[in-house]
């Protein structure tokens, strides 16, 4: 037997409320948008629309998984980042809006378009590739920038390849599964002009306190930053010079409250550091400016 959209919305709202999801009505709007392709305004305008029994059954199964706190991005197979849809596989980090400030920081710090010719970009700990691919797309078709995407997870690298193809950027990208740095040692003329990275930065003991969508579903390897959350930043601070040109730019995502501790790891380059806040006011992006660029606080 079919069910009206309004009754189905009520059913899912009650399900999500019992499951303890915050703002269950909003969760339903998002669920129907991502799973059923029904934008919120359509949900209101077509409240009397009938949903077939088979379709309702399929959506209920997915709603039950969401009620168990499985991320909506895993159910939909995609997540939005900087206005683009990115394929997401279970286990990968789900792109978050706060990370968009890394794109804004990179674009603000890059030289004028005339100076962007031949840019070599590295997106390490790339996950689904949303950072590097977004940056490449934002530089536009006129740019001849190239991008190397690197992650220790084979699933992440495969997903990044799929996202590059979906954005028609695959011809400007190379992909690698491995450590946080490319496997080969780069000669001086082969270093990167820009490195962008969202490394694992959650202290090991704090992972258990994260929301269920994160601690129970997302890869702990992509979250765990060691005992104090700074293990990857230490490596980056010690080793980045082998991969970044002296005049190059590095953009790192920070966890909330980590700005001071990470800045101390770059104490020798303190006059070249800049910070960009996210939409909640947390210092989310650290920028290491090139040696020939004038430093000023963002």
pLDDT band at 195 (very low <50, low <70, confident <90, very high): very high
- Residue ending a domain, among 68, 96, 124, is 68
DSSP H helix total and E strand total for the chain? 11, 11
Residue-level pLDDT at 113: 62
| Residue 169 CB partners (closer than 8 Å, separation 6+) | 133, 136, 137, 147
Chain mean pLDDT for the chain = 92
| Residue 22 CB partners (closer than 8 Å, separation 6+) | none
Question: Which segment of 29-38, 105-114, 200-209 scores lowest on mean pLDDT?
Answer: 105-114
Q: What is the pLDDT of residues 36-88, one digit of tens each?
A: 999 989 888 888 889 999 999 999 999 999 999 999 999 999 999 999 999 99
H/E run at residue 275: strand 273-277
For residues 151-173, give the mean pLDDT.
97
Q: Residue 24's domain spans which residues?
A: 3-68
49, 112: one domain: no
What share of the chain in percent tops pLDDT 70? 94
192, 269: one domain: yes
Q: How far is CA 31 from CA 48, 63, 79, 101, in A?
A: 18, 8, 12, 26
For residues 208-233, give the mean pLDDT.
96
For residues 22-36, give the mean pLDDT.
95
pLDDT greater at residue 144 or residue 204: 204
CATH of the domain at 206: 3.40.50.150
33, 84: one domain: no
186, 130: one domain: yes
7, 103: one domain: no
Q: What is the pLDDT of residues 238-286, one digit of tens each?
A: 999 999 999 999 999 999 999 999 999 999 999 999 999 999 999 999 9
Residue-level pLDDT at 295: 46
Total domains in the chain come to: 2
64, 161: one domain: no
Strands 3-4 and 283-288: unpaired
The position carrying tokens 């392709």 is 37
111 and 143 Cβ atoms separated by less than 8 Å = no
Structural domain includes residue 269: yes
pLDDT band at 186 (very low <50, low <70, confident <90, very high): low
- Residue ending a domain, among 26, 44, 68, is 68
CATH of the domain at 49: 1.10.8.10
Structural domain includes residue 121: yes
pLDDT band at 296 (very low <50, low <70, confident <90, very high): very low
267, 155: one domain: yes
218 pLDDT higher than 70: yes
d(CA 31, CA 29): 5
d(CA 83, CA 232): 29
Structural domain includes residue 127: yes
- Residue ending a domain, among 45, 68, 91, is 68
pLDDT band at 298 (very low <50, low <70, confident <90, very high): very low
Q: Give the residue from 28, 33, 3, 34 showing the smallest Cα distance to 13.
A: 28
Query: DSSP of 3-32, one letter per residue?
Result: EEHHHHHHHHHHHHHHTT-SSHHHHHHHHH
Residue-level pLDDT at 255: 95
d(CA 296, CA 130): 27
48, 183: one domain: no
Residue-level pLDDT at 117: 73
182, 266: one domain: yes
Structural domain includes residue 188: yes
Structural domain includes residue 294: no
226, 284: one domain: yes
Kindly report the pTM of this predicted structure. Answer: 0.92
122, 265: one domain: yes
140, 260: one domain: yes
């Amino acid at each position: 037997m079919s069910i009206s959209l309004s009754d189905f919305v009520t059913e899912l709202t009650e399900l999500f409320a019992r499951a303890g999801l915050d703002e269950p009505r909003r969760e339903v709007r998002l669920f129907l948008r991502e799973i059923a392709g029904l934008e919120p305004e359509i949900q209101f305008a077509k409240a009397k629309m009938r949903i077939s029994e088979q379709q309702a059954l399929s959506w209920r199964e997915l709603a039950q998984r969401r009620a168990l706190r499985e991320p909506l991005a895993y159910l939909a197979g995609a997540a939005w980042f900087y206005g683009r849809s990115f394929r997401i596989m279970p286990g990968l980090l789900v792109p978050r809006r706060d990370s968009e400030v890394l794109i804004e920081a990179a674009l603000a710090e890059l030289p004028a378009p005339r100076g962007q010719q031949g840019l070599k970009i590295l997106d390490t700990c790339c996950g689904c590739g949303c950072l590097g691919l977004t940056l490449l797309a934002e530089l536009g078709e006129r740019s001849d920038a190239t991008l190397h995407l690197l992650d220790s997870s084979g699933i992440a690298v495969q997903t990044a390849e799929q996202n590059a193809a979906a954005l028609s950027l695959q011809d400007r990208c190379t992909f690698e599964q491995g450590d946080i740095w490319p496997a080969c040692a780069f000669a001086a003329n082969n270093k990167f002009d820009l490195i962008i990275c969202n490394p694992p930065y959650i202290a090991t003991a704090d992972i258990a306190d994260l929301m269920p969508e994160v601690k129970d579903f997302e890869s702990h390897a992509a979250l765990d930053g060691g005992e104090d959350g700074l293990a990857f930043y230490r490596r980056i601070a010690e080793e980045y010079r082998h991969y970044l040109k002296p005049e190059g730019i590095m953009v790192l995502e920070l966890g909330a409250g980590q700005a001071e501790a990470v800045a101390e790891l770059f104490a020798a380059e303190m006059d070249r550091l800049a910070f960009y806040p996210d939409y909640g006011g947390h210092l989310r992006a650290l920028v290491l400016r090139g040696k020939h660029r004038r430093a000023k606080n963002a």
